């Protein structure tokens, strides 16, 4: 979870939990408690023990979850037949491909809905992300995942890593400085010229008075200038290790912030679009191991107006949003918004 609030950065990640029913609520609780004036430190009389930490995991954070009265469950709560079968297929080399190519019609319809669908080139990674903009111009992002199927125990992915799988940032962009012309004033030339030179000038130019008019450009009062508020927030999904290597969401934000005249849409395209940094990072593994695959969705706020941006480098990405007219939109593939 991360929230944009001026130059103050506030974000938290929760990792390696087994009994917290809703880890995203735990991350939120940690964020709120860490934002208290004392950092949530019990030693300083604060309420919670988060102590302003950004990332906590394992037994430590699960003990805090119990202390904060969050709902806890047995590990068996998270077991599903679908994921268990996926796990077993993943342990057998080639089993997944044989599964997709089997003659089970219902299975094909379920996994491959639509002509040209191969059941592989999309992002069913189990990651769920949300970006929200409130009426006060505050952006918040929250992302959660079960991780990568058959990953090694202890592996930490991009989802709980600030700047890799999620990011929110706000800043002020100076507006072009307005200048005004000062009324013409008379500057004394006589004060800097020798007397004999003044006499010669007076003889040659009867109207010479020793003064000349000058015009000066002065900046407006700094208090009258208006800086433009700008903010971005993003959530990513895909191959987490590739997102980690690129610090993908923070890099996209940095492009939008520090590169001249760059929108968040163009920054996301550079990172997660076809041929972008994620894809290039896979090098010769692209299209073979899943490395480099991914997508990002986010909101950019410019002068009080929010704009949704997204891109991905694979066959599709499940996404939904509410457009400027208040209509709910749900999409998977790219072609729907290119037509």
Q: Mind telling me the catalytic residues?
A: 127
Count Cβ neighbours within 10 Å for each residue of 172-200 and write b for 16 or more, e otherwise.
eeeeeeeeeeeeeeeeeeeeeeeeeeeee
Residue 23 phi, psi (nearest 5): -55, -30
What is the chain's length? 339
Return all residues near 306 (Cβ < 8 A) that are at least 6 apart.
133, 299, 300
User: Distances from the Cα of 298 to the Cαs of 7, 128, 234, in angstroms?
Assistant: 19, 13, 4
- Alpha-carbon distance of 58 to 56, in angstroms, equals 7
Count Cβ neighbours within 10 Å for each residue of 285-299 and write b for 16 or more, e otherwise.
ebeeebbbbbbbbbb
> Sign of dihedral through CA atoms 237, 319, 120, 109?
positive
On whether the CB atoms of residues 319 and 328 are closer than 8 A, the answer is no
Return all residues near 263 (Cβ < 8 A) that are at least 6 apart.
256, 300, 307, 309
The number of C-alpha atoms within 13 Å of 181 and in the hemisphere containing its C-beta is 5
């Amino acid at each position: 979870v991360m929230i944009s609030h001026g130059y103050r950065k506030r974000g938290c990640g929760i990792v390696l939990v087994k009994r917290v029913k809703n880890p995203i609520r735990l991350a939120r609780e940690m964020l709120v408690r860490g934002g208290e004036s004392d950092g949530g430190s019990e030693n300083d009389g604060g309420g919670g023990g988060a102590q302003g930490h950004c990332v906590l995991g394992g037994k430590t954070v699960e003990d805090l979850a119990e202390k904060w009265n969050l709902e806890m469950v047995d590990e068996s709560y998270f077991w599903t037949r679908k994921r268990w079968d996926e796990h077993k297929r993943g342990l057998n080399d080639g089993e997944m491909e044989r599964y997709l190519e089997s003659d089970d019609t219902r299975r094909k319809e379920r996994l491959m809905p639509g002509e040209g669908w191969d059941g592989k080139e999309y992002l069913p990674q189990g990651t769920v992300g949300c970006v929200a903009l409130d009426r006060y111009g505050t952006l918040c992002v929250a992302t959660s995942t079960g991780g990568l199927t058959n990953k090694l125990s202890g592996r930490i992915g991009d989802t709980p890593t600030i700047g890799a799988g999620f990011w929110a940032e706000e800043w002020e962009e100076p507006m072009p400085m307005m200048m005004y012309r000062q009324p013409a004033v008379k500057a004394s030339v006589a004060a800097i010229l020798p007397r004999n030179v003044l006499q010669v000038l007076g003889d040659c130019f009867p109207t010479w008075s020793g003064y000349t008019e000058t015009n000066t450009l002065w900046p407006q009062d700094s208090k009258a200038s208006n800086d433009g508020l700008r903010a971005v927030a993003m959530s990513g999904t895909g191959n987490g290790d590739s997102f980690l290597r690129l610090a993908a969401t923070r890099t996209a934000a940095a492009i939008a912030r520090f590169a001249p005249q760059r929108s968040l849409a163009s920054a996301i395209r550079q990172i997660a679009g076809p041929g972008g940094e994620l894809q290039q990072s896979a090098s010769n593994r692209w299209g073979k191991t899943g490395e480099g695959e991914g997508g990002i969705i986010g909101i950019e706020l410019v002068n009080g107006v929010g704009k949704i941006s997204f891109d991905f480098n694979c066959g599709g990405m499940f996404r939904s949003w509410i457009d400027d007219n208040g209509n709910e939109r749900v999409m998977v593939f790219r072609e729907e918004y290119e037509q």
